[in-house]
Amino acid sequence: MSELKVGLAGLGTVGAAVFRMLERRAGELEARTGRTVKVTAVAARDRSRDRGVDLSSVAWFEDPVALAREGDIDVFVELMGGDGDPAKAAVAAALDRGIPVVTANKALLAKCGVELARRAEASGAGLHFEAAVAGGIPIVKTLREALAGNAIERVSGILNGTCNYILTRMADEKLSFHVCLTEAQRLGYAEADPTFDIDGFDTAHKLAILTSLAFGTQVDADAIYVEGIRQLTLADLEAADDLGYRVKLLGVAVKTDTGIEQRVHPTMVPKHWPIAQVSGVTNAVAVDGDAVALTLVGPGAGGDATASAVVGDIFDVARGAKGYAFGLPVERLARAERAAMQRHEGGYYIRLAVVNKPGTAATITRRMADEQISLESIVQRQPGGVVPSDTAHVILITYATTEAAVRRAIAAIEADGVVASLPQVIRIEKD
């Protein structure tokens, strides 16, 4: 029975969870693959730290690049994170040596995915990254393998647990964004500097990877339009609820007449969609193919969930599974074009804080008509404390139109002097 020697770079929460899972499941993995899977070498900074795992029989490397380049290993597992060295150098070194790599590093893949896939192809080593997107949800395997018969039309997902936690608490408990953010930080769901999560960049990294797998494009996070959840108010979430929607931070990649549109922004989704009902830190990905539409729901982060995805990839390496990193040879991956959001077509939710005087509604509806925008509904509301009482909220839901038309109409309304503060615009996603 041949051995699969695992080299593990990074022994934080996920690394230690992977180590323990491989020990716990050793017998099963051997029965299922015919190989004994064993961590034989690790790289981490502090040898003395107690991680709750027995490292006595394991070779220790201070330098992960040295482990990747010289370690007596059959697979290199990168769990250090960071989009530069040493993670990148280590992954490259392993691939160049022909050693398959398993990584959970979304930032690295979003930035250097194409280059690393090229190195993998050149040496014939596999590059596996199930854990990099949506944690424990097997969406990479689903797109790369299970849906091979489908032409994908849209991938959309709740890919950031922090944002979904905040939005869920705001909606369920009628709390402000800032209260929920503070609560998320207290519970360890958000960083002290939450920018990366709440401004949508983490979602964009993951979406870039999904887009490549779904549409055969080169991973390119810079091609994504990104908007975060900072500006969302409870008034918006309540209005969405009344109108039959929930507001989620979605990453969406969709095939349009002009190419693949990649975008991350708060989105109103119909309540009856499975994805609308995903609450808290849970993640979900919906895939619309020409033959099937699937929704996968599960934990997007955490040591055990991420370790589950990493060990699934190690299992694939052990049984000799072959395949291109992003499904296709690198030379076949098309360039990703930056989303032309002005051309985006869809329904819109627009909330305007307006001066409470006669003729305001007429002004607004005229400007919408000027841009050929049809309105599904228009509601005027007296808001609570947030806005001075001589203003009201006008909430518009449009039928499908273009971003450019919406922006022009709003600019015209602002020029008319009836708007009291910054308008809120939320895109609506429908079937």
Residues that bind its own copies (CB under 8 A): 17, 21-22, 24-25, 28-29, 31-32, 130, 135-138, 141-142, 145-151, 272, 274, 277-279, 289-299, 304-305, 307-312, 314-316, 319-324, 327-329, 332
Question: Is 353 annotated as ligand-binding?
Answer: no
Question: Is 12 annotated as ligand-binding?
Answer: yes
CB-nearer residue toward its own copies: 22 or 419: 22
Token couple for 220:
């390119």
DSSP 306-349: HHHHHHHHHHHHHTT----TTSS-GGGPBPPPPP-GGG-EEEEE
Token couple for 266:
């708060």
At its nearest, how many Å lie between its own copies and the CB of residue 114? 16
CB-nearer residue toward its own copies: 81 or 289: 289
User: Strand, helix or coil at 9?
Assistant: strand
At its nearest, how many Å lie between its own copies and the CB of residue 352? 33
At its nearest, how many Å lie between its own copies and the CB of residue 308? 4
CB-nearer residue toward its own copies: 19 or 189: 19
Question: Is 135 annotated as ligand-binding?
Answer: no
Contact at 8 Å (CB) between 198 and 228? Answer: yes
Amino acid, single-letter form, for residue 82:
G
| 1 CA to centre of own chain | 39
Question: Is 10 annotated as ligand-binding?
Answer: yes
Nearest alpha carbon to residue 351 among 266, 240, 207, 241: 240
DSSP 369-404: HHTTPPEEEEEEE---TTS-TTEEEEEEEE-SEEHH
Token couple for 58:
């394991």
Of 5, 141, 206, 248, the active-site residue reads 206
H or E segment to which residue 282 belongs: strand 282-289
Catalytic status, residue 206:
yes
- Separation CA 131–CA 79 (nearest Å): 10
CB-nearer residue toward its own copies: 29 or 260: 29
Question: Is 13 annotated as ligand-binding?
Answer: yes
At its nearest, how many Å lie between its own copies and the CB of residue 281? 13
Where are the strands (E) in 14-93, listed by range? 36-43, 59-61, 75-78
Question: Is 14 annotated as ligand-binding?
Answer: yes
At its nearest, how many Å lie between its own copies and the CB of residue 22? 8
At its nearest, how many Å lie between its own copies and the CB of residue 96? 22
Residues 6+ apart with CB under 8 A from 53: 11, 16, 19, 20, 23
Residues 6+ apart with CB under 8 A from 138: 130, 296, 309, 312
Question: Is 7 annotated as ligand-binding?
Answer: no
User: Strand, helix or coil at 146?
Assistant: helix
CB-nearer residue toward its own copies: 31 or 192: 31
CB-nearer residue toward its own copies: 22 or 249: 22
Which residues are annotated as catalytic?
Answer: 206
Binding-site residue ranges for NADP(+): 9-16
Binding-site residue ranges for NADPH: 106
Binding-site residue ranges: 9-16, 106, 191
Binding-site residue ranges for L-homoserine: 191
